[in-house]
Every structure is written in C-alpha cells, then in structure tokens.
Amino acid sequence: MKQDLTMESTVRELYETPIGHDVLAKVLLQMGIAEKWLQNPIIGGRKLKTLAKLTQKQFDAAFWQALIDLVNAETAIPADRIAGAVGGIRPTWWKEAVIYQIYPRSFADANGDGIGDLKGICSKLDYLKDLGVDALWLSPVYDSPNDDNGYDIRDYRKIMTEFGTMEDFDELLKEAHARGLRIIMDLVVNHTSDEHEWFQKGLNEPDSKYRDYYFFRGDTGKEPNNWSAFFGGTAWNYYPEQKLWALHLFSKKQMDLNWDNPDVRADVIDMINWWLDKGVDGFRMDVINYISKTPGLPDGNDAIGKLMLFYGIEHYFYGPHLHEYLHEIHEKAFKPHGAFSVGETPGVGREMAKLLTGEERGELDMVFSFDQLETPGHIRFDDYEYDLNYYRDYITDWMEHYGNNCWMSLFYNNHDNPRMVSKVSKDPAAAQAIAKLLAVMQFTLKGTPFVFQGDEMGLVNYDFRSIDELSDVESVNRYAELLEVRPADEAFRIIKSGTRDHSRVLLPWNERAKALPEHLRQSPDPVITDLYRKLIRLRKAHPALIYGRFELLSGKKNVFVYRRSDASETFVIECNLHKKPRKPVFTENGYTLVYPITAGAQMQPYEARIWRKLN
C-alpha cells in the first residue's frame, strides 16, 4: 500500500498507518498523555497542519516532515489488517517455551574468582531443568574488553577468557541439549568493540576494505552530525592520529557497523551460520532495529531530540533498509537452520513490531518492545512508583491487536533494568506479593515468558551506597555528566534509581556473593521459586494458557480480570493491581480455585487468583 500523507491529512489518517500509529503513541507516551486522546473524534478529524500550529512550541515543521517521510516510506501493511490474510495460530516450540535469561557475569561462578562463568552455568542446568524452563538465552559470552560487559565484542568466534574456553562452551551446549534445554546466544552486530580486528584495520589502514565496514568520516573540524550516544555525549569519536571521526551509538568503544556494505552483511551472516552449525538454537539480536541508518547520516531533529533525550534516533530506529537486511539474515542463516530469533527493538511499537515479526514476512520470530517498562511520562532514572494499571492497558492492547501471525514476548526485567518488583513498590513488605502477582500474569498472559535470572528468587533492587559500588558504563558516564549540574548526593540518587547494576550483582547462591557487604546481599525467597515451578508446570499442562483466546473481563482501576480459554477449558485470572485490599470482582460460579490454595473474602494487596473450569 502506498502511503501518501501530507500536512492536509487528518490525525486519524496518520494514526491509521502502522508507523503513524506507533510514532504518535510514542510521542504521547513520552509526554505522559494517554493514547485515548487520539481516539477523540474532534482530535482525529483535525488536519495535521492544524495540529502542527497548535503544537508549534514543541514541534517544528521539520518534525512533521520527518514523521510524514517515515510514514510514507513504509509501504507494507500488517497482514492482520487484510481481511482473510491470517488464519489460526501456527504452533511452534518457542511459543510454548519459557525462556530464561542468564547474565553470565553474575549468574554462577564455578572457580571462585567472583565472576560467573560457563562451568558455573553448567553446574546449574539441573536447577534450571527442574525450574521447568525450556531454553536459556545467554547474554554475550564472546571475547570482549568489557567496556559494556560483553556487548562490545572483540572476537565473535572466541569465548571471553573470564568465562572459560570454547571447550567449556561446547560442553555447556552438549549438557544443555542432553537435558532438552535449548541455547540462545546474544547477537551483537549493530556494533563491534573498537578492539575488533575489523575496526583496527579500518582505522589504521586507509586502503583496507574495512574502512567501509564502519562510519568513518574525514576531519571537518567538528562532529559529522548532532547524534547523541546512549552512554553520554556525542555519537562521534575523533582519532587525531588518523584525522578521522567514527560513529558509535553506545559507548566510545562500541563502534557502529555499516550495514549498507554487503561485505559486512556477508561476514555477519557467516558468523551466525558458524554458531548455528555448532548447534545453538537461535539468537537474541541486540538493538537489531538500529542497523540501517539514513544515507548521509543527516542531523537529528531538534524536537525529537528534546523529547527522546537523544538526538538522531529517527535516522536509525526504523531505517530504510531494516526489513531488507533482516530478511536477508533470515533467508541465509535462520531459515536454513530452523533457528529462532528474538529482536531487541527499542522504540518499536505495536504496528512496526507486526511488520518485523509477521510470519509471512520472514524477518524475526519475536521482538522485545520496551514501552511497558515505565509508566508514561517517566524514565528509568526517575524515582517513582510504577502503576500496574498502565501495564494492564499496555499488554491488553497488544494481546488484542497483535494478530495470529505474530507472537509476543512477555517480560518485566532484563540486564538493563532495575527489578520491576521494586519499581512497583519500595515497601519490602509488599515485595513478595508483587513478585507473585507478576509471575501469575507472566505465565497466564498470551506470549512467551522471558524470566530474567533472579526473578524466580524474588530478588529486588540493591541499596547501593556510593558510585564506587556501580560498574555499569552507562551509570558511570551519566553520573559524571550529572555532577556538572547537580550536587553529588542528588546525582547519585538519580543514578541509583535507574542503574543497570541492580540486575547485575552476583546472584546470592555464589560463595563470593556471601562475602559482599550486607546491603549488597539478598536471600532467595523459596516461596517465589516454588511458585515459578508450579506456574511453569501449570502453563505447560494447559494449552489454553498458551494458545487460548485472551479476553479482558474487567480493566477498571486497580483491577485486571481476564479469561484464557480453548475448546476444552477456561481459566479466569483476577489480579489486584494495588496496595489496598478490595473485594473480588469475579464471581466464581462453576470454577475451581487453582491458585492460591484458599481465597478469602477480600483480595489482599497485589493478590492474584487463578480459577479454572472445564468446558
């Protein structure tokens, strides 16, 4: 379908396009405005030029042009919008699976040096099998100088020395497979370490083919454009000796690859096939939606930069060749191996996600979309209480509109985020109930649950005392930037709220974790671990919880009641999303209580109940 929006088009016409839908939703989210605003007929009927006039303080003409260009460039429409194009859900192993994310550095330390390792992971395979998970996603284990804990890869075909050897990896793969556990690797190919051979050659050898593997630019006296780096400052490094600039969207040691160069794509695809040939079962693909950049790397729009807090995003979060490059990887690597892919896609909304994961498109199997992680108007570094009413609305919207040809990922945590339990409430007395509630939702909503290590132990955030206790490059850099404008204690408070280190402390079961200062120690909660085991088994035993229909029964304030059903049975899940007790909404005629063991007259703070009946 050709989109030909202009400033004469209406807000509704814009909102009805896949990209327009997602961008408007994102803009409102950033501004802390409910998306419902757009469904108001008066707003919907306004012409874009009228809206532009009303919002001229925030958004200049260039913003509207950038948006219209982005919308008009996408000619595809999600298959579920075409009558009759999508049938029933196609069953696959990864729709039925529970996937467990391991952050190897802090998971299990076999040799006692305080750093998790591959042998450590091996030693926990029985535990993981018993937990009931089906696949392990390993955050990067490749050779790396660890500027960003392995997300800066120096050699894709070598194991990080601290984690062990390739023999250890082969052993892990064999032992995992022997237990029926699949292994999913982390694929970090938007960038490499500056210590990668390709970058070193590109930088130091003017005639080398590797000069075109990255975004090198000659000396023009200033940065080639105004883009920001996610870990602070400009996205450009200057190399005085070579008189060259080079682009990095993340840290100064994570250099962006030039995917428009077919040799880059061929080398990456070779590498993927090398791992798939070894027998790994799939990849989680790091910031994979960033790989295609607008040709010429033009400046980022000012309004978008201010809104998103980073400049240039519109030139790479959904770039001109993204679909083409993903399709190429799929055809040449994933498809021939029957391998699984989940893309990490920050900034991608519901409709863009459909175009990335629709089964007819041959790009990705699933994506991680992140707009669920903070309540509208908040960022990760704000100290606030996350409102689960927002999660209910967000996840319901996706489940109702994602279509049978796409499949969702369900997660609250990963190695880049503080724990969701702590976002919802800082009250330690509430933590266990919140952890239970999150688990019940995660295993009974529609999609593939991704458990992050420690979720199943009921872990919460750490009470870090000083910046010296943090090691994440993002936290360290941001803190230094904040010090220029804030007093030290305030700067630390901000960093402490959002630091990725909350999810990266050595897990409590390690000897060396027991030696940490008391405020960095936590005990695993066996009640939560036991509940994870039970819920994972429940989900497995009842296809209605996997492939069954989802219906919202009540979504009023602090209430989340939904039904999952297939031909043979029906589940109803009722959640109290709030810290106050309340009367249950669901009347359970004909249903039996599956969880918890007994149901009181009141729903307790954050209580969740699962009911079931045979059809």
CA–CA distance, 472 with 479 (Å, rounded to integer): 11
286 labelled catalytic = yes
Nearer residue to ligand TEU within complex by CB, 146 or 570: 146
The residue whose Cβ lies closest to ligand TEU is: 151
CA–CA distance, 229 with 20 (Å, rounded to integer): 26
Rule CB under 5 A: say whether 111 interacts with Ca ion: yes
Residue 428 CA, distance from chain mean position: 26
Residue 115 binds which of ligand TEU, Ca ion, none (CB < 5-8 A, kind-dependent)? Ca ion
CA–CA distance, 342 with 361 (Å, rounded to integer): 14
The count of C-alpha atoms lying within 13 angstroms of the C-alpha of 472, restricted to the half-sphere facing its C-beta, is: 24
Rule CB under 5 A: say whether 474 interacts with Ca ion: no
We find the least distance from the C-beta atom of residue 106 to ligand TEU, in angstroms, to be: 13
With contacts defined by CB under 5 A, name the span among 44-52, 113-121, 424-432, 476-484 that binds Ca ion.
113-121
Phi, psi for 252 (deg, rounded to 5): -65, -10
- The residues facing 409 across adjacent strands are 448
Judge contact between 346 and 367, C-beta under 8 A. Answer: no
What is the SS3 assignment for 326? helix
Residue 117 binds which of Ca ion, ligand TEU, none (CB < 5-8 A, kind-dependent)? Ca ion
Q: Which of 137, 213, 250, 340 binds ligand TEU (CB under 6 A)?
A: 250
89 Cβ contact partners less than 8 Å away, ≥ 6 residues apart: 95, 404, 407, 547
Rule CB under 6 A: say whether 230 interacts with ligand TEU: yes
Nearer residue to ligand TEU within complex by CB, 137 or 586: 137
We find the least distance from the C-beta atom of residue 160 to ligand TEU, in angstroms, to be: 15
Residue 439 binds which of ligand TEU, Ca ion, none (CB < 5-8 A, kind-dependent)? none
We find the least distance from the C-beta atom of residue 122 to Ca ion, in angstroms, to be: 12
CA–CA distance, 334 with 205 (Å, rounded to integer): 33
Rule CB under 6 A: say whether 286 interacts with ligand TEU: yes
DSSP H or E stretch at residue 127: helix 125-131
CA–CA distance, 530 with 456 (Å, rounded to integer): 8
In the region spanning residues 414 to 433, those forming contacts with ligand TEU, defined by CB under 6 A, are: 415-416
Residue 346 binds which of ligand TEU, Ca ion, none (CB < 5-8 A, kind-dependent)? ligand TEU
CA–CA distance, 26 with 411 (Å, rounded to integer): 19
Three-point CA angle 336, 337, 343, nearest 5°: 100
Residue 416 binds which of ligand TEU, Ca ion, none (CB < 5-8 A, kind-dependent)? ligand TEU
CA–CA distance, 255 with 236 (Å, rounded to integer): 9
DSSP H or E stretch at residue 236: strand 236-239
Amino acid at residue number 270? D
Reading the block at residue 260, the tokens are: 């428009």
Q: What is the DSSP letter of 91?
A: P
Amino acid at residue number 184? I
Helix (DSSP H) and strand (DSSP E) numbers for the chain = 23, 20
Nearer residue to ligand TEU within complex by CB, 187 or 244: 187
Residue 219 binds which of Ca ion, ligand TEU, none (CB < 5-8 A, kind-dependent)? none
Rule CB under 5 A: say whether 109 interacts with Ca ion: yes
Rule CB under 6 A: say whether 148 interacts with ligand TEU: yes
One of 152, 168, 286, 365 is an active-site residue; which one? 286
Three-point CA angle 414, 419, 421, nearest 5°: 135
167 labelled catalytic = no
One of 117, 162, 344, 472 is an active-site residue; which one? 344
Q: Which of 188, 333, 451, 608 binds ligand TEU (CB under 6 A)?
A: 188
With contacts defined by CB under 5 A, name the span among 114-122, 182-190, 332-340, 406-414 that binds Ca ion.
114-122
Q: Which of 11, 98, 115, 451 binds Ca ion (CB under 5 A)?
A: 115
Nearer residue to ligand TEU within complex by CB, 249 or 406: 249
- Nearest C-alpha neighbor of 103 from the set 520, 445, 531, 472: 472
Residue 244 binds which of ligand TEU, Ca ion, none (CB < 5-8 A, kind-dependent)? none
Reading the block at residue 172, the tokens are: 């892990």
Rule CB under 6 A: say whether 151 interacts with ligand TEU: yes
Rule CB under 6 A: say whether 199 interacts with ligand TEU: no
Q: How many residues interact with ligand TEU (rule CB under 6 A)?
A: 12
Site for ligand TEU, rule CB under 6 A:
148, 151, 188, 230, 250, 286-287, 344, 346, 415-416, 474
Site for Ca ion, rule CB under 5 A:
109, 111, 113, 115, 117
Q: Hey, which residues are catalytic here? A: 286, 344
